[in-house]
Amino acid sequence: MEPVHLPQAPGGQATARPLSAWLPRLAAARPTGAYVHVPFCFHKCHYCDFYSFVDTKDRQEAFVDRLLAEARAMAGLVHEPLQTLFVGGGTPTLLTDERLARLLRGLRDALPWADGAEWTVEANPETVTASKADVLASSGVTRVSMGAQSFQPALLRQLERHHEPASVARAMGLLRAAGIARLNIDLIFAVPTSTLEQWQDDLAQALALAPDHLSCYGLVYEPGTPLRARLEAGGVERLDEDLEASMYEHTVTTLAAAGYHHYEISNWARPGQECRHNLLYWEDGEWIALGPSASGHAAGLRWKNVAVLQEWLDDGPWPPVRSVEALDEDGRIGEAFLMGLRLLDGMRSERVQALLGRGTRAAQRQAAIDAAIARGDMEWSGDRLRFSERGVLTSDSVLRELL
């Protein structure tokens, strides 16, 4: 998958309320994108903390009906044609061909779309057949994000991924034959027991498939996952930090040499092929969220739909939400830094100065930036503040101070 960890609103309220309860505030919403969450998976990978579960196909039909009803209700918040759609999960391509077609065509009808809108769907290589590729292409999908994660059979087993390395090339061939040219490959490095040579081979195999976008994430031991429990019980060992750093550095140099622009900490694209939907997140844009556990952001509110399929199915058409967060000024400033500085080109000086001129923590933030510049972790490049090449590796701690 192509994970973007959105800032999550704190939970707390025991009873879910429909998002429409916040309509007076949401009247000012100006979303330009939509995220759809499909929670079904073939198998639950032990490192995954997304809301997804093993599909028994008994609720796919109800899911599509309910999602389209939600899209029609949420259309009231959309005042201009949307520029991007991202259908993630979960494994959206696990929907049957007929249901996937109904979902995508229903979204086309329910919401206004700009000409040339980017439509991305996440796919698991094993679920891409010729007919599925045709459904995606004929429904207007312009971009597919392929969850490859690794080309090493042993590491795929470590990750509990149930696909053959060869199916990535097969799936990409089918998608290209159907007319979908924009393809992303997701890879995970720093998998327990992995070596630098294996990671070099993963990158080489991915590059041989000529994707126009690559997402490379270091494995995260997310709290609450079986993998984290195994780590804490001593059943699995974290990769050495220096080796993980070497893998990242190798990624930076290899992908630069292959002509990919490193535009976000974990994302690389051929010129002009950046993921427009994810840029919306990083550039503090507004989007609506459809489906269980989907997170949205508009009119200064961040919300997360209820993350229980049956509860979401039983409610509607507005999504039931349990957490809605209206960030105060300091929260908004912290988030603007957190998201904006993930982009390798950084933030314009004007924006940085405007953010540092507000809020109650301006002096602390200024000091954190000055210290990072003094250490060589941040730099001014022209009129933009950004992380230096070595600073990207330790950016998390600086971003925490800016939050």
Which residues in this chain contact ligand SF4 in the complex, by CB under 6 A? 1, 41, 44-45, 48, 50, 52, 89-91, 124, 147
Q: Which is nearer to ligand SF4, 273 or 293 (CB)?
A: 293
Give the 3-state DSSP-derived string for the chain, with helices as H, strands as E and coil as C.
CCCCCCCCCCCCCCCCEEHHHHHHHHCCCCCCEEEEEECEECCCCCCCCCCCEECCCCCHHHHHHHHHHHHHHHHHHCCCCEEEEEEEECCHHHCCHHHHHHHHHHHHHHCCEEEEEEEEEEECHHHCCHHHHHHHHHCCCCEEEEEEECCCHHHHHHCCCCCCCHHHHHHHHHHHHHCCCEEEEEEEECCCCCCHHHHHHHHHHHHHCCCCEEEEEECCCCCCCHHHHHHHCCCCCCCCHHHHHHHHHHHHHHHHHCCCEEEECCEEECCCCCCHHHHHHHCCCCEEEECCCCEEEECCEEEEECCCHHHHHHCCCCCEEEEEEECCHHHHHHHHHHHHCCECCCEEHHHHHHHHCCCCCHHHHHHHHHHHHHHCCEEEECCEEEECCCHHHHHHHHHHHHC
Cβ 89 to ligand SF4 shortest distance, Å? 5
Q: Which is nearer to ligand SF4, 211 or 340 (CB)?
A: 211
Q: Which is nearer to ligand SF4, 188 or 288 (CB)?
A: 188
Closest C-alpha to 326, from 31, 9, 77? 9
Cβ 91 to ligand SF4 shortest distance, Å? 5
Q: Which is nearer to ligand SF4, 267 or 293 (CB)?
A: 293
Q: Which residue is nearest to ligand SF4 (CB)?
A: 48
Q: Which is nearer to ligand SF4, 140 or 226 (CB)?
A: 226
Q: Which is nearer to ligand SF4, 89 or 291 (CB)?
A: 89
Cβ 44 to ligand SF4 shortest distance, Å? 5
Q: Which is nearer to ligand SF4, 55 or 244 (CB)?
A: 55
Cβ 14 to ligand SF4 shortest distance, Å? 27
Q: Which is nearer to ligand SF4, 32 or 52 (CB)?
A: 52
Cβ 38 to ligand SF4 shortest distance, Å? 9
Cβ 234 to ligand SF4 shortest distance, Å? 24
